[in-house]
Structure 1
């Protein structure tokens, strides 16, 4: 079997303005690494945590839940505080975007950028995402087809609590959007599922700030930070961050 290297958080120390970057479900900090490098070159300090259970075998992932993942986000935020940063913006993609909205509701952040955030997800669609991740992870480990099939079947039997908690966390986040008063930029890929365009409009209508904008990117799928619109997305994010009151 191949040894899978566990992803780790990263910190790029730059200027006095800091950005907390948050990755997607079943993924890790590679989602936001290129964005962080770009922002760092442009004077920002960037920190990206790996959520508890992520980057590990799927059996370990489902032994955690959104409260554990959110705690990893909080730890990242307070790490920046301890490093002397009081001015922090938050950027997240997919699950990371949900957590960016949570940060806007509960933490002192200067601005929020969300990408590819769903306003709803059923457990079956979350299970599909988990199974896709599990299959790829186990193939990377070098397991044979029969063993992978068996282990995924067992995984499906035990994942329901984790995925139900995820669904509930998403619903609670959307119910609290009126608590958000910070500047926010809402982004989605036009090649992604139509749900995400609909979700962007709902978030835009629900947050309580006049400094808000929503933008679709014509060549982007779900992982916008790694897609064909990456350069223009980087520039748009930088423009948003520069106009914030720091």
Structure 2
């Protein structure tokens, strides 16, 4: 069975624009419901899809964080080309890291960082993310367990230098949090891995702005945009965006 790859999306909703960024091994599905919610409340949303994501695992591992960052910048430039002068940015997990990097490198009205790592996981943990992605992808293709096991063993033999580059990206962004001067909302699930919970605190305390808030969700894990409390997450994001001086 052929897997239908996810696509970038743009939801036109008004004169205020929000760039939405998904996670590592995720896709625009991570932020699609959030995008529709924002659209209904007067925000135009655009979500790029990072190179290699939503595709077969062998294509994903041939890409690099630099490729994904170019897709983020391309999404920002797309909104600029559409005539939006003021842009806010919101992202989940790796998308949260990119959200912080956008806030460092490009003019933004506000930043929403969700479950973003500020400390890098080790390469083994990141490799397991790729392996789990590969297993699920192959399952969706309709392959049986024996074939999946065989193909995963083949995948294990392939070089994955991008994993170390991803670790370095997270570290580099974490070292430059004081470059962020725009208003920021930091959101974090209480059921998430301790690394992410510690990261939320570090991000909140080290950004260089007085206009900052942090919010915790007791019943939520990592992808809070799709979790039990997603409606509350969406409402909190809208309240933050509405508070900005557009």
Q: Same fold (TM over 0.5)?
A: yes
Task: Please report the TM-score for the alignment, with normalisation by the length of structure 1.
Answer: 0.97
How many residue pairs are counted as aligned between the two chains?
245
Residue equivalent to 1:123 = 123
Task: Give the deviation of 1:215 after TM superposition.
Answer: 1.2
Residue equivalent to 1:140 = 140
Distance 2:230 2:136 in 1: 24
Give the SS at the match of 1:114: strand
Distance 1:3 1:81 in 2: 35
Task: Give the deviation of 1:158 after TM superposition.
Answer: 2.2
Deviations 1:70-111 (A, max 9, x none): 100111000000000011000000010000001001011111
Give the SS at the match of 2:100: helix
Residue equivalent to 2:81 = 82
Distance 1:134 1:166 in 2: 18
Distance 1:71 1:36 in 2: 21
Residue equivalent to 1:181 = 181
Relative to structure 1, is the Cα distance of residues 159 and 109 closer, same or farther in structure 2, using a 3 angstrom cutoff?
farther
Alignment of 1:231-242 (within 5 A): 231-242=231-242
Contact 1:197–1:216 under 8 Å retained in 2: no
Over aligned residue pairs, what C-alpha RMSD do you find?
0.9
Alignment of 1:89-168 (within 5 A): 89-120=88-119, 121-168=121-168
Alignment of 1:185-204 (within 5 A): 185-204=185-204
Deviations 1:128-147 (A, max 9, x none): 11111100001111223232
Task: Please report the TM-score for the alignment, with normalisation by the length of structure 2.
Answer: 0.97
Residue equivalent to 2:10 = 11
Distance 1:80 1:214 in 2: 27
Deviations 1:110-166 (A, max 9, x none): 110011111221111111111111000011112232322222122223243011111
Deviations 1:184-207 (A, max 9, x none): 011110011122111111111111
Q: Which runs of 5+ in 1 are unaligned?
A: none
Residue equivalent to 2:206 = 206
Give the SS at the match of 1:158: coil
Contact 1:134–1:152 under 8 Å retained in 2: yes
* Deviation larger for 66-75 or 144-153: 144-153
Contact 1:189–1:219 under 8 Å retained in 2: yes
